[in-house]
Amino acid sequence: MSKQYSVFGVNGPVVTIAGATALRMMEMVYVGEGRLIGEVIGLDRERTTIQVYEETTGLSAGQPIYPTGELMSVTLGPGLLTNIYDGIERPLRALEDATGSFIGRGINLPALDAQRTWNVTLRVKVGDEIGAGTLIASCPETSVIEHRVLCPPTLSGRIVSVQPNGAYTIRDTLAVVERTDGTQENITLSQRWPIRSPRPVTKRLAPTHPLITGQRVIDTLLPIAKGGAAAIPGGFGTGKTMTQHQLAKWCDADIIVYIGCGERGNEMTQVLTEFAELIDPKSGRPLTDRTILIANTSNMPVAAREASIYTGITLAEYYRDMGYHIAIMADSTSRWAEALREISGRLEEMPADEGFPAYLPSRLAEFYERAGYAETLGGAEGSITIIGAVSPQGSDFSEPVTQNTKRFTRCFWALDKALAYARHYPAINWNESYSEYTVPLADWFREHAGAEFLTMREQLLKILLEESQLLEIVKLIGADVLPDDQKLTLESARVIRVGFLQQNAFHAEDTFVPLEKQREMMRVILLLHEKCQQVLAHQVPVSAILKTGLHEKLVKMKYDIPNNRLELFKEYAKEIDRKLAPLLR
C-alpha cells in the first residue's frame, strides 16, 4: 500500500486529514510511520476524521496514512475459542511474546495462528449447489466444540473442486465455488466480517427457552430467555462482576464471550486466572475450551474500548450461525459509554445529558438488538444472550446509560448496595428488578418444571411484597405491635430471603442449583407458611410456632440437601407435619 494521505491534526485518539479524500465511512486505515490501526468515522469536503485504536503519543502532522480498502473487520475461524484478545481482536498472548508485558504500538499480529493445522472433514462434493449458510466442512476446535465451516452469507454457486479430508491451515483452500457469472472463489477455514454489520439470519424466533443459570433469584423470580437481553446495574462494590462470573461459569449456554470493557486490570486478571482453573461441569474439561475473552482494560486506548463490544458480538454471531447458543457478558457498558463521551468531546459534538453524545441511545440499541433467538441461514437454531453490566455513579439509576439501557432490555436485575453490604449475594433487589420474559417462558416452565412452578413463584413474590410493605410500618412503630399473622409473614419472608434468594458461590451444593431443587425448595417453604397459617387460625401464638425451629431448619436446607438427593425434601415435609400437629391439637 502506497502513501496517499497525511496527518493534518491530532487530538488524542482523533486524527484528521485536510481536504476531500477517497476514503469510505468506517474504512480501516493505518496511521503514521508506526502504522497504528484506525477507522474512518467522519467525512466531508474539508476534512476526514479517523478514530485511532492505539496510543497516539508521538504522532505528528505530515505522517502518512495508508488506506486498506476494507471496513473495520475481524477474522473468523477455528482458534477463537480459548484465546484472549484486545478490543480490536489482537491476540494478547502473541502480543506478550512479541513485546513483553506492555503492548507495543503498531503491532498488527494475525488473530488466528496461520501455522496451526486442523483435522478437517469436508461435507460437500463436486457438483453440489451451495448457498449462504451451507455446511462446507467441520473440525474439532476444542474437545467440546465442533467448528462448522459455513458458506459465507455473500456467496452462492456450484462446487467445482473439493480437497480430501485431512489436516489444513486456516489459509488452505478447502473447496472452490463457481458463481453464476462464471467467477470462482476459494473457501478456506477463515473469513473476514465487518464488526459494525450484523450477520444475517433467515428469521428471528420468539424467545421461548430460558437460560438456566443455577442462580435461584434469576431462574425462579427474574428469568432470562435464550436470545434475551438483560442489564445488571449497580454501584461500586455491589457485585456486578461477581454475578457475571457466576453466570459465565454455570449458565447452560454452549459458548461464553466475556468482554472486559474499561474495567480495572486486576478484575480482568482475576477473570483470566479463574477461568483457566475452572472445570466445566457439563464436560469435565477446562471452562476456557468454550470461552472467548476480550480484555480492554481502563488503561488501554479509549477508542478500542468503543470497538470491543462490536468485536465481541461479531464473534458471537459467527458461532450462533453454526447453531450454538452464546452468552455475552459485557462488563461494563458504562465504561463503553464513557469512551463514546470522550471521543464525542474531541470531535466537538454537541453534548446531551451529562455530556454523553445525543446518539448514545441508538448505539446502545445497535448493540442490544443484535441479541436474539434465530433460525440461521443454514437452517439451524442459535441464540445470542446479552448480559450487560451498568455502573451508574453513586448507584443513581436515573442517569442516562441506565435509563437508556432499560429501553432496550427486557430484564433488569438491579443490584442493591444495602444487600451487598449485608453480604446477601447475589445482591439483586427483587422489588426494584423485573423480567418481561416470564410470560413467553411460561409454557416451557409448565412442561419442564411442573404446572405449579409459576404459581409457587407468584406466592413467593406476594410474600416478599407484603414484607416490604410491613417493614415500612415496622420502621415507625416496631415489630412487637404487629398481629401474629403479619409476624408470620415477616418470618416466612426471612426464610425466602436468606434460605432461598441468598446464595453461596463458594459452597459446592449452593453455587449452582438445578431447577428441580429450586422447585422443591419453594414447595417446602410455602408448605410451612400454609401450615403455620392454619396453626395461627387455632389461636396459637406465633412464638410457639417459632419454638419448633422449623424456620431455621429451612434456612439451612440449601446446604443440608445435596442437589442429587431431592427425595430428602419429603422428610422435611413430614417433619413440618409432625412438629406442628401438637400445636393444632
pTM: 0.93
User: Taking the CA atoms of the chain, what radius of gyration do you get in angstroms?
Assistant: 28
CATH number, position 141:
2.40.50.100
- Amino acid letter, 118: W
Q: Are 181 and 158 in contact (CB under 8 A)?
A: no
Residue 89 belongs to some domain of the structure: no
Residues 30 and 63 in one domain: yes
Residues 461 and 506 in one domain: yes
Of 189, 211, 235, which residue constitutes the final position of a domain? 189
Neighbours of 65 (CB within 10 A): 24
For 197-230, the DSSP string reads SPPP-SEEE---SB---S-HIIIIIS--BTT-EE
As a whole number of angstroms, the distance between CA 181 and CA 481 comes to 86
As a whole number of angstroms, the distance between CA 505 and CA 497 comes to 16
As a whole number of angstroms, the distance between CA 463 and CA 486 comes to 10
Number of domains the chain contains: 4
201-232 as b/e, with b when 16 or more CB fall inside 10 Å? beeebebebbbbbbbbbbbbbbbbbbbbbbbb
Residues 291 and 168 in one domain: no
Residues 571 and 490 in one domain: yes
Neighbours of 313 (CB within 10 A): 27
What one-character DSSP code corresponds to residue 350? P
258-272 as b/e, with b when 16 or more CB fall inside 10 Å? bbbbbbeeebbeebb
DSSP SS3 for 310: helix
Residues 371 and 504 in one domain: no
Write down the pLDDT at residue 271. Answer: 74
Residue 275 belongs to some domain of the structure: yes
3-class DSSP string for 469-484 = HHHHHHHHHCCCCCCH
As a whole number of angstroms, the distance between CA 1 and CA 89 comes to 22
As a whole number of angstroms, the distance between CA 529 and CA 117 comes to 62
As a whole number of angstroms, the distance between CA 22 and CA 283 comes to 52
As a whole number of angstroms, the distance between CA 127 and CA 29 comes to 40
Residue 83 belongs to some domain of the structure: no
Strands (E), 123-168: 129-130, 135-140, 146-150, 157-162, 166-168
Residues 65 and 180 in one domain: no
Between the alpha carbon of residue 469 and those of residues 221, 413, 455, the distances in Å are 19, 21, 21
Q: Are 33 and 69 in contact (CB under 8 A)?
A: no
Residues 423 and 463 in one domain: no
Of 407, 436, 465, which residue constitutes the final position of a domain? 436
Residue 502 belongs to some domain of the structure: yes
Residue 376 belongs to some domain of the structure: yes
Write down the pLDDT at residue 1. Answer: 45
Write down the pLDDT at residue 3. Answer: 54
| Cell numbers 448457498: residue | 131
Q: Where are the alpha helices (DSSP H) in 426-514?
A: 442-449, 453-477, 484-494
Residues 384 and 284 in one domain: yes
372-408 as b/e, with b when 16 or more CB fall inside 10 Å? bbbbbbbebbbbbbbbbbbbbeebebebbbbebbbeb
Closest CA to 488 of 538, 459, 530, 523: 530
Of 369, 402, 436, which residue constitutes the final position of a domain? 436
What one-character DSSP code corresponds to residue 83? -
As beta bridge partners, residue 260 has 295, 331
Residue 107 belongs to some domain of the structure: no
Write down the pLDDT at residue 265. Answer: 73
Provide φ and ψ at 177, rounded to 5°: -110, 135
Closest CA to 133 of 173, 191, 194: 191
| Cell numbers 465481541: residue | 312
CATH number, position 578:
1.10.1140.10
Residues 496 and 413 in one domain: no
As a whole number of angstroms, the distance between CA 486 and CA 508 comes to 35
Residue 103 belongs to some domain of the structure: no
Containing structural domain, residue 126: 118-189
Residues 260 and 371 in one domain: yes
Residue 80 belongs to some domain of the structure: no
CB half-sphere exposure, 10, CA atoms < 13 A:
20
Pairing of strands 64-71, 5-6: antiparallel
- Amino acid letter, 581: A
Residues 312 and 346 in one domain: yes
Provide φ and ψ at 391, rounded to 5°: -120, 75
As a whole number of angstroms, the distance between CA 213 and CA 211 comes to 6
CATH number, position 18:
2.40.30.20
Residues 503 and 542 in one domain: yes
Q: What are the average pLDDT values for consecutive 10-residue runs of the chain, which has 585 residues?
A: 79 92 92 93 92 91 93 95 91 85 82 94 94 95 93 94 96 94 93 95 95 96 97 91 89 93 76 74 79 86 88 96 96 91 91 93 95 95 96 90 95 94 94 95 95 95 95 86 92 96 93 95 96 92 92 95 94 94 83
